[in-house]
Chains A and B, each alone.
Chain A
Amino acid sequence: MNSRQRAPQVRMKLSAIFLVFVLSAGLLAQDNSPQVTLNIAKSGPRSVEALTQRAILRDYKFAWANLDSALQSNSAGPLNGLFAGTANEWLQDAVNHQRRSGITSAYLNQRHKVDAVFYAPAGDVIELHDTAEYDFEIHDNSKRIHQEHAIVHYVVLMTPAADRWVIRQLQAVAGF
């Protein structure tokens, strides 16, 4: 087989390798984003409209992805617009303190099982109970000093902003 005959086979092999690489990169990217389910069956007194449920789910998921990003990179930028009030202050403080200490933390393989437990009559605040499961790691510079698979319960208060729902309180508790 001469080089001219081999060229299409090489191209096909390269294409196949490239395809596998792209697909696996895509799958990995999917795995890294938080998995969130939101159950509204227990919420009240106001019922959660389908559109609101979708918006809360989208914004809560996005907020956790960005929380992880902020604490991994020690940059407060990803927190902007997704957290407000106390939640925002605490996370900003956490990022600042981590940066000062040379520490980073990561919330990997996140899975959140979220129940809406209270939705105010006027629709201006919702309380969520999140049973979150993730691999939590803490690094001092490049050295991993802590790693655990954690299941943590969070009480969350979210309020509607102009075009999204923002987290105002994100408080871990021993149990619901």
Chain B
Amino acid sequence: MHTALLGAGFLLAAMPALSQDAPLRIPSNLVAGQPVSIATAGSGSATFYLSGPSDSLKREVQLGQNLDLTAKDLQAAGRYVAILCSAACSSVGFFVAPATPASLTFLVHPSRAPVGLNDGISGVAFPFDQFHNLVLAPTTVQFQLAAKGSAPNSRSVQTHGGVAWFRTNSGKSAGPLEITASLADLSARRVVQQVASDPCNLRIKGQRTAKGIQVETEPVRDCSGNPVPDGTIVTFTAKNGDDVSFVDAPVKQDVARATLLAKGSVVVSAASGVATGNELRIGGKE
């Protein structure tokens, strides 16, 4: 405000304006949301204009007196042009810088990630001030990653151009991964659900019954031992010479089950994703 006017330097009106007879003196180092007093020179009345990123105002003023701009007039960071018109117009451009961070925008991807994925999870944080200006001054954002059963992992990243980011591998165990970005007393939390990766080492067992060949897998797990999600498809194949039949079955409570109607002696196998299981030889019905 007035202290800024007294303490700081001034940007004198030096524009391709029509006249310099009524210059404006704008304090330097202006910050968003802070009121300011602009000194004018001369005498008589004039029209004052302010054009900014989100604002545009017009006001009758008395030259020689200070012009008070409220905090609301200067909420948006960016470039402003102040114009004073009496007999002629003169103008000056000035910048308003963002205020201190008041919120963090934190984007994390993906929301679900398979375990053991290299650089599979990333996060980007943007600090904004209370007026939604992007805070461009370098500041340190702390990212903390915590998963059940493993020690929290944290890293500090300095913002460049108003952005701090990280990229990391997903963990070994399925379950929620809590990721928190914090800056001073601000924090934003996101959760990535780590899920089992593709099935690994399929094992099947089966027997002939009156209805056909009933086959089922042992609990289907990924290579880290995490049970795969329900609904994962396992394809059972029954082969009897040139006669081949397939049945797709979803995993339900870790196990996929199916009934094959093949007759005679058959070789049954199973596959899910890129994983294949053991072969099972089942003799024909007498």
> A: which residues have CB within 8 A of B?
45, 85-86, 89-91, 93-94, 97-98, 100-103, 105, 117-118, 120-122, 124-125, 127, 129, 136, 138, 140, 145-150, 152, 155, 157, 169-174, 176
- Are A101 and B58 also in contact (CB < 8 A) when A122-B107, A138-B83, A149-B16 are? yes
Alpha-carbon distance between A78 and B77 when the two chains are bound, in angstroms: 23
User: Once the chains bind, are B56 and A103 in contact (CB under 8 Å)?
Assistant: yes
Q: List 17 A-B contacts (CB under 8 A).
A: A91-B54, A94-B53, A101-B57, A103-B49, A105-B56, A118-B160, A121-B109, A122-B109, A124-B107, A125-B124, A140-B47, A146-B15, A146-B17, A152-B79, A171-B136, A172-B95, A173-B95
Alpha-carbon distance between A148 and B16 when the two chains are bound, in angstroms: 6
Alpha-carbon distance between A137 and B139 when the two chains are bound, in angstroms: 36
Alpha-carbon distance between A146 and B134 when the two chains are bound, in angstroms: 28
Question: Is residue B176 within 8 Å, beta carbon to beta carbon, of the partner chain?
Answer: no
User: Once the chains bind, are B55 and A93 in contact (CB under 8 Å)?
Assistant: yes
Alpha-carbon distance between A150 and B92 when the two chains are bound, in angstroms: 12
List chain B residues, Cβ under 8 A from A173: 77-78, 95, 136
Alpha-carbon distance between A144 and B28 when the two chains are bound, in angstroms: 27
| Count, A-B residue pairs, CB within 8 A | 122
Q: Is the interface of B mostly helix, strand, loop or mixed?
A: strand
Checking A102, A148, A171, A172 against B58 with a beta-carbon cut-off of 8 angstroms, the contacting residue is A102
Checking A86, A103, A121, A125 against B132 with a beta-carbon cut-off of 8 angstroms, the contacting residue is A86
List chain A residues, Cβ under 8 A from B165: 45, 118, 120-121
1/0 per residue, CB under 8 A from A, across B159-176: the answer is: 011110101000000000
Alpha-carbon distance between A129 and B161 when the two chains are bound, in angstroms: 9
Alpha-carbon distance between A105 and B161 when the two chains are bound, in angstroms: 29
User: Once the chains bind, are B81 and A127 in contact (CB under 8 Å)?
Assistant: no
List chain A residues, Cβ under 8 A from B49: 101, 103, 138, 140, 145-146
Question: Is residue B143 within 8 Å, beta carbon to beta carbon, of the partner chain?
Answer: no
| Shortest distance between the CB of A137 and any CB in chain B (Å) | 10
User: Once the chains bind, are B124 and A120 in contact (CB under 8 Å)?
Assistant: yes
